[in-house]
Amino acid sequence: MAEILPLKAWRYADNYKENIEALTAPLFDVVSSQQREELYKNSLNAIHLSVPKGPDPIENAKNTLIEWKGKGIIKQDLIPGIYVYYQYFRLPGEEKERCRKGFIAQIKAYNWEEGEILRHENTIVSAVTDRVDLLAATKIQASPTHGLYEDEDFQLEQYMDASMASPIYEVEDYQGVREVLSVIHDAKVIRKFLMVIARKQIILADGHHRIEGAIAYRKRMRGQFEDKRWKAHEYHLMYLTNAASDDLKILPTHRLFYGLQLSQAQLFEKLRQWFEIKPFSDPEELGTYTFRRVRKFGLLIGEEGYLIELKQELYDSINRDMPEALRKLDLVLLHEVLFHQILEIPIKEQRSKENLVYERNFSKCLREVQSGKASFAIITRELEMSQVLDVCKSGLLMPQKSTYFYPKALSGLVFASIDQEEFEYNYDAFFE
């Protein structure tokens, strides 16, 4: 069903291998502005291609890429490969080290209507436009999106494990995750990867805006290179992991709200119409609270913390025509009741509201509220993988920032070119 190809990756030259940790970058939306500024100080860091800055950031990225290629800072591998990518990590309070196993390849940038790649979140139009313009100017992809495939037989893991005996890179990233990259060049083994994924639908875990940009760029280039069997502009860089693995972790993403026009008393009056409200003795401990009951959230406001739980009798009356796969999601109800019904922000406008901010770090939520910068924070619990799969397969969409798959892929380990000349290869050899 989903077509993937091996990748003739651009990578930092071998003489930079010992310093690769300083050259990679996290995804833009998972680090603070202070951390980003530190990354920008390194003129060779991948962030200059993935999220360029300056008065003309896109032109800056284009010029940076030309310079890096010209000086041999990055070089292209001569033959295509499947890049095996393992992430070793621990969660707070756990002694066991987890390992998320996956691989990086090129996947066709399917339109959503084709049903080969399934999404679960909405996107913001302006962010997609920026991605398309950056692709068009640089013809390089510096950050893989993250896709899931379902394979309960774990057919590919044996080949990935064997490849890991000879790693290319091994780094510790900004969040303490050990990242290891290797490559498979054996055509027979690569063919097995292509055959397994060809029978799968891909569920997009992370990178909705980047893949939307790739889809839009593919449409923009329609009619180009018609004499070519394999067209560079049709493909997108993706990190693929097995959804059947026990080491896929979804973390919660909390909500911060700024500039509330209601007083605290007015807000609580409205909240009590929908929620049962109970004081929480120590707001600093709310981040460790286990939300075992559905439709229950934490609330930070002023110096205080609360638990709020949607009243059962009201749940039965909310959006009865909404598909059940969505209606049973806590975050869908939160956005409908709190932000739509109570704060009167239409669902469609919530995506672009600058005073509604998504934050995974509980400590930052606490600081923003207690300092008076944020009006309040809603502390959420994580979604279950089964819920994400149900929504994706139903064709429905969750509110933005509903999931935070941990850990995130790094930018800069490999770069994928969508320049036709650099992409060119007899990929038919992998399908014989």
3-state DSSP of the chain: CCCEECECCEEECHHHHHHHHHHCECCHHHCCHHHHHHHHCCCCCCHHHHCCCCCCHHHHHHHHHHHHHHCCCEEECCCCEEEEEEEEECCCCCCCCEEEEEEEEEEECCCHHHCCEECCECCCHHHHHHHHHHHHHHCEECCCEEEEECCCCCCCHHHHHHHCCCCCEEEECCCCCEEEEEEECCHHHHHHHHHHHCCCCEEEEECHHHHHHHHHHHHHCCCCCCCCCCCHHHEEEEEEEECCCCCCEEECCEEEECCCCCCHHHHHHHHCCCEEEEEECCHHHHHHCCCCCCCEEEEEECCEEEEEEECHHHHCCCCCCCCHHHHCCHHHHHHHHHHHHHCCCCHHHHCCCCCEEEECCHHHHHHHHHCCCCCEEEECCCCCHHHHHHHHHHCCCECCCCCEEECCCCECCCEEECCHHHHCCCHHHHCC
| Domain CATH for 347 | 3.30.1760
pTM: 0.85
Q: State the first-to-last Cα distance of the chain, in angstroms, to the nearest integer.
A: 17
Q: Which residues contact 15 (CB under 8 A, 6 or more apart)?
A: none
Q: Could you read off the pLDDT tens digit of each residue along the chain, which spans 432 residues?
A: 799 999 999 999 999 999 999 999 987 766 677 888 999 999 999 999 999 988 899 999 999 999 999 999 999 999 999 999 999 998 877 788 999 999 999 999 999 888 899 887 666 655 677 889 999 999 999 999 999 999 999 999 999 999 999 999 999 988 889 999 999 999 999 999 999 999 999 989 888 888 999 999 999 999 999 999 999 999 999 999 999 888 878 888 899 999 999 999 999 999 999 999 999 989 999 888 878 778 899 999 999 999 999 988 887 777 666 777 677 788 888 888 999 999 999 887 887 788 998 888 899 999 999 999 999 999 998 877 777 777 777 776 777 777 778 888 999 999 999 999 999 999 998 987
Domain of residue 352, residue span: 253-381
pLDDT of amino acid 123: 60
Are 225 and 360 within one domain?
Answer: no
Q: Is residue 393 part of a domain?
A: no
Q: Is residue 195 part of a domain?
A: yes
Are 54 and 180 within one domain?
Answer: yes
Nearest to 413 by CA among 135, 162, 102, 5: 102
Are 238 and 324 within one domain?
Answer: no
Are 194 and 265 within one domain?
Answer: no
Q: Is residue 390 part of a domain?
A: no
pLDDT of amino acid 288: 83
Are 237 and 266 within one domain?
Answer: no
Q: Is residue 392 part of a domain?
A: no
d(CA 297, CA 377): 10
Read off the tokens for 177. Answer: 């995750």
Q: Is residue 391 part of a domain?
A: no
Are 74 and 213 within one domain?
Answer: yes
Q: Is residue 397 part of a domain?
A: no
Are 193 and 267 within one domain?
Answer: no
Are 121 and 214 within one domain?
Answer: yes
Q: Is residue 197 part of a domain?
A: yes
Are 142 and 225 within one domain?
Answer: yes
pLDDT of amino acid 126: 54
CB 87 within 8 A of CB 176: no
Are 243 and 377 within one domain?
Answer: no
Are 108 and 39 within one domain?
Answer: yes
Number of domains in the chain: 2
Are 217 and 333 within one domain?
Answer: no
pLDDT of amino acid 339: 92
Q: Is residue 319 part of a domain?
A: yes
